[in-house]
Amino acid sequence: MEVTLKHFFSLLSLCIIIATSNLTGQSVWLNELNLSAMDIGWSTPKANASVDGNPLSIAGIKYANGVGTHATSRYLLQLDGKGDRFIASVGLDDEATIRGSVKFYLIGDKKILWESGVMKKNIPAEKVDISLSGVQLLGLLVTDGGDGNNYDHADWCDARLVMKEPVNPAQLVSRRGQPSDDYYILTPKQTDAPHINSPKVFGVRPGNPFLYTIAASGRKPVKFSVRNLPRGLRLDASTGIITGVLTKESVYTSTLVAENSAGKSERELRITVGKTIALTPPMGWNSWNCWADAVDDNKVRVSADALVSSGLIDHGWTYINIDDCWEIKPNATEEHLKGTQRDEKGMINTNKKFPDMKKLSDYIHGKGLKLGIYSSPGTLTCAGYTASYQYEEQDAVRYAEWGVDYLKYDWCSYGKIAPDKSLPELKKPYRVMRSALDKVRRDIVFSMCQYGMGNVWEWGEELGGNCWRTTDDIFDSWSSMAEIGFKQVGHEAYAGPGHWNDPDMLVVGRVGWGPELHPSRLKPDEQYTHISLWSLLAAPLLIGCDLTNIDDFTMSLLTNDEVIEVNQDPLGVQARRVSNSGGKQIWAKMLSDSTQAVGLFNAGEEGKTPIEYFHWDDTPTVKIRVQGSDLGINGKFSVRDLWRQKDLGVFNGSFESDVPYHGVVLLKIKPVQ
Ligand code: GLA
């Protein structure tokens, strides 16, 4: 009989469970609780596995039982004084690299009951066995060990609560500190009359193919026309797609017109033919946060279809970006990923999931959308597929042949090529690809992805990046989204038309890094915060969810034109943080019409002390007051609520609003003479 390791461990844990229950009353195992309420900085918490799904393992010792999580991780349990002891062995999982470091805390009713040292790779598990006597609320916290949360794979092994009396484990998980579950929709219903929503400015290089689609909401069919359309361009009056070529550096002002049986809308468009593209942050969809390596041609096509049929295209969403996993994968076992990496001329091949990239690109362009692709400056991409090292020029040519409009260029395996992480080494591969892209006659947005190394925001523009990731990967948790979003303080000095800070893609809707998807674990108010903050930050907006299965709440988040206009404002200023006190944050972004977009955020008192990682009392709606003087406004100003698209009145000196826990009120503030 074959006895696998798994069987052995299951048997072992069964024995432990039986033994402990007999000795000390009821043991409640952490891995048996509902872990969906555990907030985690990356991926999802795993029962009886590490956060990456491997057997739990600390300093070479394997554990059958426990929970794999990732800093920052917090979990609040309601013991009501029924707990006797908490027992566990904790540490950094062996799957982490030397960059990982974590610290564990047990906090009972606002008091630290126990804390570990800073746990790093190969440090043996620390054992904890503490009394829970009298504890009402128990917080399990893992922080990042003081050096950011890279590879912070933290394990609570053999973790259990020994209870004084029998309890229903389902009732132990506390709802306290959780924002509301109410999926309330604020975006008003669309009107029948048309409204033009595409950007007010558009940059193109002389001689390169021009593609701009007039985005207009309103009842279909809508008929389009353009006054003063520059010679060299043509408009399709039924789709609003403008194509052609402009050969000379110049600035044109055209008037876009959209009409239907219910009315008419006009908007000025400034076309700048010059060196700069991406004059407003790119908006679209990327395959990674939903499909990851499950992406294929069909999923990309149906996403493009859905961007159109759902009406998202009418609000300015434009790019359909294929992330990693379209290339040949060396050493793959899966038949459809095998093949010759490049042809005899060194031109890159696709794997069998993408039979004809040019056809796919034509399909996408035919809808007025644009196509994005992904590569790495190393020999392999992050997921281990063929990348561009020493083939940068061939790849740029190939992208141009295919009709690619956006390249995400992701550091990953280049880490093995660069001798060190000095600034010249960090810049080098991006400079090489920049110059390759400059040789092709196509406008390709250059998205530099290297997670913020070497303060990339300080030199991303000089290198010709159109945007650059400022952070590690985002996940659909409050810890991840809020830590990334609110940490963008100070980066505003480096953003502007054609060069944007990129705090990573959106995690609303059904996400999951494929093939299994789940609704975003961000609570509704957290999702309002996510979209409002990314709009204020003038961040690229790349939807990361399954577009073919999108609910009304998510649609309402992605189709509020007054919110999107904050992101797409032609001035291209990124919001600055005006104030931050007791978790109440105010951010303001100057807009081209001399008004300001202002976000009042109730972010909670995150992380000043371990105790403040939890909300021990009911989740508070707070009042946040913004002073006109903080915005450089003396005297009266008018206030408009952008999510509700409603004027709130004229105020003198200051304005105050209730803001829900982890939520936001997004305003447009205008001085009144
Ligand atoms: C990195 C990037 C992600 C995604 C994956 C693909 O992790 O940061 O956004 O592109 O690689 O492998």
pLDDT-derived band at 98, boundaries 50, 70, 90: confident
pLDDT computed for residue 605 by the predictor:
66
Give pLDDT, residue 17. Answer: 46
CA 284, distance to chain mean position in Å, is 13
Looking at residue 673, its pLDDT comes to 82
Q: In angstroms, rounded to a whole number, what is the distance separating the alpha carbons of residues 476 and 666?
A: 21
Q: Indicate if the pLDDT at residue 430 is higher than 90.
A: yes
Report how far ligand 1's centroid is from the alpha carbon of 210 (Å): 29
The least confident of 139-143, 164-168, 436-440 is 164-168
Q: Write out the H or E segment, with its range, that includes residue 664.
A: strand 664-671
Instruction: Tell me, yes or no, if the two domains 195-273 and 578-671 fold the same way.
Output: yes
Ligand 1 pocket, Cβ-based, cut-off 6 angstroms: 288, 323-324, 381-383, 410, 449, 473
**What pLDDT shows up at residue 176?**
79
CA of 151 to the centre of ligand 1 (A): 14
**What SS3 class is residue 202?**
strand
Q: How many helices (H) and strands (E) does the chain have?
A: 10, 40
The per-residue pLDDT for 4 is 52
pLDDT of 616 reads: 84
**Per-residue pLDDT tens over the stretch 548-587:** 999 999 999 999 999 999 999 999 999 999 999 988 999 9
Q: Which atom of ligand 1 is nearest to the CA of 383?
A: 12
Where do the structural domains in the chain lie, given as residue ranges? 27-171, 195-273, 283-574, 578-671
CATH for 283-574, among 3.40.50.150, 3.30.930.10, 3.90.1150.10, 3.20.20.70? 3.20.20.70
Percent of the chain with pLDDT over 90: 89
Catalytic residue from among 410, 443, 476, 502: 410
Instruction: Write a three-state SS string for 469-531.
Output: ECCCCCCCCHHHHHHHHHCCCCHHHHCECCEEEECCCCCCCEECCCCCCEECCCCHHHHHHHH
Asked about 593 being catalytic, the answer comes back as: no
* CATH 2.60.40.10, domain 195-273, yes or no: yes
- How many C-beta neighbours within 10 Å does residue 297 have? 19
Whether 443 sits among the annotated catalytic residues: the reply is no
* Residue 226 to residue 246: CA distance in whole angstroms: 16
Q: Which tens digit of pLDDT belongs to each residue from 494-553?
A: 999 999 999 999 999 999 999 999 999 999 999 999 999 999 999 999 999 999 999 999
Read off the pLDDT of residues 456-503 as tens digits, 9 standing for 90 and up. Answer: 999 999 999 999 999 999 999 998 999 999 999 999 999 999 999 999
pTM of the model as a whole: 0.91
Tell me the per-residue pLDDT of 274-296, one tens digit each, with 9 for 90 and over. 999 999 999 999 999 999 999 99
C-beta separation of 361 from 403 below 8 A:
yes
Give the residue from 586, 576, 661 showing the smallest Cα distance to 625. Answer: 586
CATH code of domain 27-171: 2.60.120.1060
Q: Which amino acid residue places its CA nearest to atom 8 of ligand 1?
A: 473
Percent of the chain with pLDDT over 70: 96
What is the signed CA dihedral for 628, 629, 634, 635, rounded to 10 degrees? 40
Question: Is CATH 2.60.40.1180 the right assignment for the domain spanning 578-671?
Answer: yes
Pocket test for ligand 1, best of 449, 453, 456, 511 (most atoms within 8 A of CB): 449
Conformation bin of residue 498: beta by default, left when phi > 0, alpha when psi is -120 to 50: left
How many angstroms does the Cα of residue 392 sit away from the middle of ligand 1?
19
The pLDDT, as a whole number, for residue 347 is 98
Q: What is the pLDDT of residue 175?
A: 79
C-alpha 184 to ligand 1 mean position (Å) = 32
Q: Is 378 helix (H, G, I), strand (E, B) or coil?
A: coil
For 388-418, the pLDDT digits (tens) are 999 999 999 999 999 999 999 999 999 999 9
From the number of C-beta atoms within 10 Å of its C-beta (0-12, 13-18, 19+), residue 279 rates as: buried
Per-residue pLDDT of 311-345, as tens digits, reads 999 999 999 999 999 999 999 999 999 999 999 99
CA distances from 79 to 89, 136, 614 (A): 21, 5, 15
List the residue whose alpha carbon is closest to atom 5 of ligand 1: 382
pLDDT digits (tens, 9 = 90+) for 632-646: 999 999 999 999 999
Strands (E) located in 322-388: 370-375
Overall average pLDDT of the 290-307 stretch: 98
- Which ligand 1 atom is the nearest neighbour of the CA of 381? 12
> Which of 323, 386, 474 for a ligand 1 pocket mutation test, highest count of atoms within 8 Å of Cβ?
323
Q: Whose CA is nearest to atom 1 of ligand 1?
A: 382
pLDDT digits (tens, 9 = 90+) for 256-270: 999 999 999 999 999
Is residue 15 very low, low, confident or very high in pLDDT (cuts 50, 70, 90)? very low
Q: Which atom of ligand 1 is closest in space to residue 504's alpha carbon?
A: 9
d(CA 90, CA 326): 39
- Which residues touch 67 (CB under 8 Å, ≥6 apart)? 30, 31, 35, 38, 45, 46, 47, 48, 155, 156, 159
What is the rounded distance in angstroms from the CA atom of residue 115 to the CA atom of residue 611?
12
pLDDT greater than 80 at residue 25: no
Out of 374, 410, 542, mutate this one to test ligand 1's pocket (max ligand atoms within 8 Å of CB): namely 410
**Phi, psi of 212, rounded to the nearest 5 degrees:** -140, 130
The whole-number pLDDT of residue 427 equals 98
- Token look-up 């961040």 returns 539
**Which SS3 state, helix, strand or coil, does residue 304 take?**
helix
- Name the catalytic one among 109, 305, 473, 630: 473
Which residue minimizes the CA distance to atom 3 of ligand 1? 473
Tell me, what's the pLDDT at 618? 74
Nearest residue by C-alpha to atom 9 in ligand 1:
473
pLDDT one-digit tens code per residue, 214-255? 999 999 999 999 999 999 999 999 999 999 999 999 999 999
Determine the distance separating the centroid of ligand 1 and the alpha carbon of 223, expressed in angstroms.
Answer: 40
Q: What's residue 186's pLDDT? A: 98
